Amino acid sequence: MNAYICQADKLGILLFESEDDDKLDRSMQPIYVAKQETEMSNKLNSMMDHVWDGFYSGQIRMSRFGAVFEGSRRSVYDLTFTGTPAKKMKFTLNGLSRTMGATIRIAYPGAESRSIVKDG
């Protein structure tokens, strides 16, 4: 087994969520998060239901996910969705270092163009 050592100042939490209209009733999970060239991998599921219908769960889940993130230089993460990824997503990286970051790769099923907007 390979030893994996990370820099503590480059640790953070990557939060991402769907901003599509069907964000409460479309299932994108589980989502697999894997860091390239390491053995680091996570399987993410949506948070708990957001509504109770009397005695039963309402089956409404926000498509929001959080993953432990190590953003050292040249880090590459693959996000593999088992459902169709949202067309519009919001990503937030929370950590102690202002220099942390990484490349995030998502394999979309279609050949549509994508744009990235930073800080609004």
pLDDT for the residue 32 = 92
**Angstrom distance (rounded) from CA 27 to CA 12:** 25
pLDDT for the residue 2 = 47
Q: What is the pTM of this model?
A: 0.76
What are the sequence ranges of the domains in the chain? 8-106
Strand 64-70, strand 11-18: pairing: antiparallel
CA-closest candidate to residue 63, choices 77, 82, 76:
82
R_g of the chain computed on alpha carbons: 16
List CB contacts of 104: < 8 A, sequence separation 6 or more: 14, 77, 79, 91
Query: Digits of tens for pLDDT over the chain (120 positions)?
Result: 444 555 666 788 888 988 889 888 778 889 999 988 888 888 888 776 666 667 766 667 778 888 888 888 788 999 999 888 888 889 988 888 888 888 889 888 888 887 888 877
Tokens of 28: 């994108």
